[in-house]
Amino acid sequence: MTLAPALYMQGSAAIDGVPIFRALDLHVAAGQWTCLLGSSGVGKSTVLKLFARLAEHVEFNGEFGAEGGDLTGRVALMAQSDLLLPWLSVSENVALGARLRGDAPDKSKVSHVLDRVGLADKAARRPGELSGGQRQRVALARTLMEDRPVVLLDEPFSALDAKNRSLMQELTAEVLQDRTVLLVTHDPVEAARLGHAINLMTDRGIETVTPPPGTVPRAVDDEIVLKVQAALLARLRED
Ligand SMILES: Nc1ncnc2c1ncn2[C@@H]1O[C@H](COP(=O)(O)OP(=O)(O)OP(=O)(O)O)[C@@H](O)[C@H]1O
């Protein structure tokens, strides 16, 4: 893996002339987890799509990118919808990146990642035979397969039951250690557990919230984690 860069985005975005966000000034620290929270429709997914160069429909006025280099080929995006190909098996979906690049899939790595997300026994199934939470774990496995220095996660644990959500948060924090991760989430607990930095995106721009101290993932029942998540929830309710 190449060194994980810091990211920046300064500017405004619109679609068909309709403003999405104005005067955004976002910094994402190198090799850390930055959480992005905010009301529905404020433009969080648009930010991720811009960084992933998947926002041709968005008119962006400003600058964004990686500090000290180009982002091309260095980004993995886990989008809100799982984007699994229904005609491929679970393991083929997990290996899709290699397949699209014309590389031979690393079958043992696919098995290992599927095992880590608890789906080793579903490897031969088609996505249509899985539950919503299982599909989300396949999409997570596909993202973790890509050894990219920058990882953009759009509500990656939203469909998971409480147990799997907590397990997948821990797994993802472990696998993506030292990567530059931008995590969009609606869950204040998740932000308090995983964020080295916590940003709220509002109509006024980015507001930062001090995260709890300590390494991530933090314990859910840690007193300061509980306090920060309560403060975050109160802050989100003001918007
Ligand atoms: N393809 C599109 N065409 C027109 N408008 C769009 C399109 N995609 C998104 N939008 C609009 O852009 C705005 C920002 O959308 P975006 O998905 O970035 O918000 P979000 O903060 O991620 O929301 P959520 O939390 O609900 O996922 C919304 O008002 C949405 O309706």
pLDDT digits (tens, 9 = 90+) for 184-225: 999 999 999 999 999 999 999 999 999 999 999 999 999 999
Average pLDDT, the chain: 94
| Lowest model confidence (mean pLDDT) among 26-30, 98-102, 209-213 | 98-102
Mean pLDDT, residues 132-158: 95
pTM summary value:
0.95
* Ligand 1 center to 45 CA (angstroms): 7
Mean pLDDT, residues 104-123: 95
The token duo for 35 is 């959480």
* Ligand 1 center to 82 CA (angstroms): 17
Q: Would you say 194 and 154 are in contact if contact means Cβ atoms under 8 Å apart?
A: no
Residue 57 near ligand 1, beta carbon < 6 Å: yes
Test site for ligand 1: of 44, 49, 58, 60, most ligand atoms within 8 A of the Cβ:
44
Q: Would you say 55 and 47 are in contact if contact means Cβ atoms under 8 Å apart?
A: no
Supply the residue whose CA is at minimum distance from atom 24 of ligand 1.
Answer: 40
> Of 53-57, 124-128, 164-168, where does the model show the most confidence?
124-128
Q: Which domains does the chain have, with CATH numbers?
A: 1-74+187-239 (3.40.50)
Residue 13 near ligand 1, beta carbon < 6 Å: no
pLDDT in the model for residue 153? 98
Mean pLDDT, residues 25-39: 97
- Per-residue confidence band for 239, with pLDDT thresholds at 50, 70 and 90: confident
Residue 41 near ligand 1, beta carbon < 6 Å: yes
* Ligand 1 center to 124 CA (angstroms): 34
pLDDT in the model for residue 1? 56
Distance CA 118, CA 62 (A): 42
ipTM higher than threshold 0.85: yes
Residue 15 near ligand 1, beta carbon < 6 Å: yes
